[in-house]
Structure 1
């Protein structure tokens, strides 16, 4: 099994991977959905603060790789027969390392400027998105506290998502083509990281 991880700050455009995944018939597991599910399970409303606190509490309860643990359990219980799985919403180097302990992982970062991301979140209007710049900055700092910056910095591929949705889709499509046409190379990928430890 090969995992393709998607990382990036809130509003960077990580969900664009769903469009490209459809084209290649690849399953996508969302780490953000896991946190939102846990928030609701705890009887909390889906607000930026509640979702953020749930993410923090899960990490306090189960360690820094908590969300990856839950996602991997889901993958092994439901998608074991799949050769390639996309994991959307990787937030930390701890999660990257946890996944890599179990399966080869290729990491793609999607990057956009703060202003671009803020405008997208305001337009998206999901329950846990903020329309306040202060709350947006607070969320960014919380994400950076999880070590998402490390995951982005150590990504294997980077998509710069500052223009159109189509441009982002095209960049992701080219990256997936590269990975799929060299799948055996990427399945041996974790070997490199073992040597570097």
Structure 2
């Protein structure tokens, strides 16, 4: 049974770094918020925090609080037929419950934490590389980042998946330290999947 590893955390915590590690280990990649940026591109809007927030909240008003997960569900389902998947940016409690209901033991959630001051510093120093067509690494001012934090916590139930994560990474030290922690979690997930496969063979 292939695994869907979803990465949760506030902006600037280090979700993309963790997701990218799983990609290097052969996981297929899907970014939750890409559906929002795709709508922004389709409507020729600038990728500002105000525009993103409006689209995120409009989607949830029209489709419910699990909207982003529902929109990504067919993609996750297709990818899981071929192999393990990492989902970058699990947002709301409703999305967590939706995915848990659909994928059950296939779903593993990793929370990445860093305090606001450190996250805001990271976000303000971001530079968008030319290769970043999906705008994963766009910068935010401190004011934009704080506004996004409040909106995600108050309007998008973002604390739920972070609190209920299977694993939590505290990203306040060096990149090398974070990578050591990520490798340990990856090894645990691999052992879990191998154990499940052995059980399947035993009872098949």
TM interval, short-chain normalised: 0.7 to 0.9
Is 1:35 the counterpart of 2:36 in the alignment?
yes
In structure 1, what is the equivalent of residue 93 of structure 2?
Answer: 93
Whether contact under 8 Å (2:7, 2:111) holds in the other structure is yes
TM-score (norm 1): 0.86
Larger radius of gyration: 2
CA positional deviation for 1:32: 2.0
TM-score (norm 2): 0.83
Q: SS state of the match for residue 5, structure 1? A: strand
Structure 2: tracts of 5 or more residues without a match: 129-134, 198-204
The Cα offsets for residues 13-39 of structure 1, whole Å up to 9 and x where unpaired, read as 000124321332111210122221122
Larger mean CA deviation between 48-57 and 166-175 belongs to 166-175
Question: Structure 1 runs of 4+ off > 3 angstroms?
Answer: 125-129, 184-187
**RMSD between aligned alpha carbons?**
1.9
Q: Distance in 1 between matches of 2:89 and 2:195?
A: 24
Q: SS state of the match for residue 47, structure 2? A: coil
Q: Distance in 2 between matches of 1:165 and 1:156?
A: 21
Q: Distance in 2 between matches of 1:43 and 1:58?
A: 18
Counterparts of 1:113-192 in structure 2 under 5 Å? 113-126=115-128, 129-131=139-141, 133-145=142-154, 146-183=156-193
Structure 1: tracts of 5 or more residues without a match: 188-197
CA positional deviation for 1:76: 2.9
User: How many residue pairs are counted as aligned between the two chains?
Assistant: 185
Q: SS state of the match for residue 83, structure 1? A: coil
